[in-house]
């Protein structure tokens, strides 16, 4: 009788194991089928996007954007080279907003603070001279509007940043520029 029970147990366990293997195989087959369907759907979507993009390109005669020919005007480029040669141990940045140089104190009333932030977003300088740690030392404007030059000068002076406003075609010599920027 024990032999019979042992054989019965082996048959039941073996059959149960076979059932598990069969279920796993069926599950794997269903999973592969779902993956193939998802891949086909993604490929169809990609093809549809490519077709619509090609149609959109052919409908519009020119792209709405193009890269600039140069970041700096010829005069700005000349002055940039003057800064680079006169201050080789410094880092020079071009065309920055004052909002990237100074911070409005949080203690100001909300309305006044917002007004000053908007003004800082609008005002720009052509060049900023920084030390190797990227701390702003000086800012330079070329041919700025007088009222803006005064306002920029006030804001930068209050923040402890030198400000140099140059007008006309007479740019300072390298040594003079160095002394005016570094003090």
Q: Which residue has the higher pLDDT, 70 or 23?
A: 70
d(CA 117, CA 144): 20
Percent with pLDDT over 90 in the chain: 45
- Supply the pLDDT for residue 170: 76
Instruction: Answer whether residue 136 shows pLDDT above 70.
Output: yes
- Supply the pLDDT for residue 157: 95
Burial zone of 60 (CB within 10 Å; 0-12 exposed, 13-18 middle, 19+ buried): exposed
Instruction: Answer whether residue 47 shows pLDDT above 80.
Output: no
Q: To 10 degrees, what angle do helices 74-86 and 174-182 make?
A: 80
- Supply the pLDDT for residue 42: 47
Cβ atoms of 92 and 83 within 8 Å: the answer is yes
Mean pLDDT of 135-142: 95
- Supply the pLDDT for residue 26: 80
Instruction: Answer whether residue 152 shows pLDDT above 60.
Output: yes
Instruction: Answer whether residue 30 shows pLDDT above 60.
Output: yes
Percent with pLDDT over 70 in the chain: 71
Instruction: Answer whether residue 91 shows pLDDT above 80.
Output: yes
Nearest to 177 by CA among 79, 72, 77: 79
- Supply the pLDDT for residue 139: 96
State the pTM of this model.
0.62
Instruction: Answer whether residue 46 shows pLDDT above 70.
Output: no
Q: What's CA 37's distance to the chain center, in Å?
A: 37
């Amino acid at each position: 009788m024990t032999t019979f029970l042992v054989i019965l147990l082996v048959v039941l366990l073996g059959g149960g194991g076979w059932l598990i293997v069969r279920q796993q195989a069926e599950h794997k087959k269903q999973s592969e089928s779902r993956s193939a369907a998802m891949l086909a759907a993604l490929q169809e979507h990609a093809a549809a996007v490519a077709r619509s993009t090609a149609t959109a390109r052919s409908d519009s005669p020119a792209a709405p954007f193009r890269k600039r020919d140069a970041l700096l005007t010829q005069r700005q480029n000349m002055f940039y080279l003057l800064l680079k040669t006169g201050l080789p141990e410094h880092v020079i940045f071009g065309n920055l907003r004052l909002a990237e140089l100074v911070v409005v104190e949080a203690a100001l009333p909300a309305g006044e603070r917002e007004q000053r932030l908007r003004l800082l977003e609008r005002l720009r300088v052509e060049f900023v001279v920084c030390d190797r740690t990227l701390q702003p030392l000086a800012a330079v404007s070329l041919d700025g509007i007088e009222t803006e030059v005064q306002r920029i000068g006030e804001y930068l002076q209050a923040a402890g940043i030198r400000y140099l406003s140059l007008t006309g075609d007479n740019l300072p010599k390298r040594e003079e520029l160095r002394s005016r920027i570094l003090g």
